[in-house]
Amino acid sequence: MPAEALTGSPCMQNMKAKLSKFETEEGRLKGLAVKTRPDDVFIVTTPKAGTTWMQQICHQLRCLAASGDVQGMKFEEISDVIPFIELAGDLGIDLEAEQVAQPRMFKTHCWREHCPKGAKYIIVVRDPIDVAVSFYKFFEGWFFEPGELDISEFVQDFILKRGKPSSQMENASYWEHLLSWWPHRHVGALTGWPPNPTLPSFVFTSPSSRHSSKEVADPFCSLTYVNSAPT
């Protein structure tokens, strides 16, 4: 996890201190400097907003829908096949290498200003209340004991205390993250992020969407979406 100001109760400070050891500055900056290709796909989310859900959708589309490659679906953890760029350097993952299937795909929690440019971007947005509860439950029993930290303090001193990052070592708040991407949801809306002349550069979706696979299949994976549900 990126740097966090050590504020709040002793429990909160202890949680933040543990999180700060999850990545090094060298490793994070190396990941953010990855050299992109025009057909690379970045799955962009705030934490606990449907990242793994979208990684699974995208990887199944590029393996199974594209070529029926069952072997590509054999992995221990989804980030083994769709790397998390902020942690890849510390984990010894070569982001420049070919992946098990094409197009290359990456996961990131970056707001727009820090995200590598020149690729395609799937931005996943989730209700902020659901994000907060999921984030709290994700850490409970891992970074603090059940009942040790009240969820109201967690939200106020961890989620809401974040704002605009002052460096690449910080994550944006939920709201700053969303605001950084939202104005650029239309093709070619952002100078310096050249769109593919025939395909969208951005798509916004949500875990509550019934059409997420269709939204990303053709424009982002160059696949024809087939609805296999019974009619």
Give me the pLDDT at residue 200, please.
43
- Is the residue at 188 inside a domain? yes
pLDDT tens string 29-56:
999 999 999 889 999 999 999 899 989 9
Distance of CA 95 to the CA centre of its chain: 15
Enumerate residues 6+ apart whose C-beta is below 8 A from 108.
Answer: 42, 43, 44, 84, 85, 86, 115, 116
Bond before 103 cis per omega within 30 degrees:
yes
pLDDT tens string 165-217:
999 999 999 999 999 988 876 654 333 444 443 334 556 666 666 555 666 66
Question: Which range has the worst mean pLDDT, 48-52, 59-63, 85-89, 115-119?
Answer: 59-63
Residue 96 has pLDDT above 80, yes or no: yes
Per the DSSP assignment, residues forming a β-bridge with 121 are 42, 202
- Is the residue at 3 inside a domain? no
- Is the residue at 15 inside a domain? no
Q: Are 29 and 88 in contact (CB under 8 A)?
A: no
- Is the residue at 4 inside a domain? no
CATH of the domain at 175: 3.40.50.300
Give me the pLDDT at residue 21, please.
87
pTM metric for this prediction: 0.83
Amino acid making up residue 14:
N
What's the pLDDT band for 120 if we cut at 50, 70, 90? confident
Boundaries of domain holding 89: 39-221
CA distance 135 to 149: 13
Give me the pLDDT at residue 8, please.
85
Give me the pLDDT at residue 210, please.
58
What's the whole-number mean pLDDT along residues 112-116?
A: 95
What's the pLDDT band for 22 if we cut at 50, 70, 90? confident
Q: Mean pLDDT in the chain?
A: 82
- Is the residue at 85 inside a domain? yes
Q: Is pLDDT larger for residue 210 or for residue 74?
A: 74
Q: Is pLDDT larger for residue 156 or for residue 6?
A: 156
Per the DSSP assignment, residues forming a β-bridge with 42 are 106, 121
- Is the residue at 90 inside a domain? yes
CA distance 161 to 205: 26
Q: How many domains does the chain have?
A: 1
- Is the residue at 20 inside a domain? no
The DSSP bridge pattern shows strands 120-124 and 41-45 to be parallel
Most confident of 63-72, 140-149, 210-219: 140-149
Give me the pLDDT at residue 142, please.
93
Residue 221 has pLDDT above 90, yes or no: no
Give me the pLDDT at residue 198, please.
38
Q: List Cα–Cα distances, 194 to 36, 117, 120, 142, 188, in angstroms.
A: 12, 9, 10, 42, 6
- Is the residue at 81 inside a domain? yes
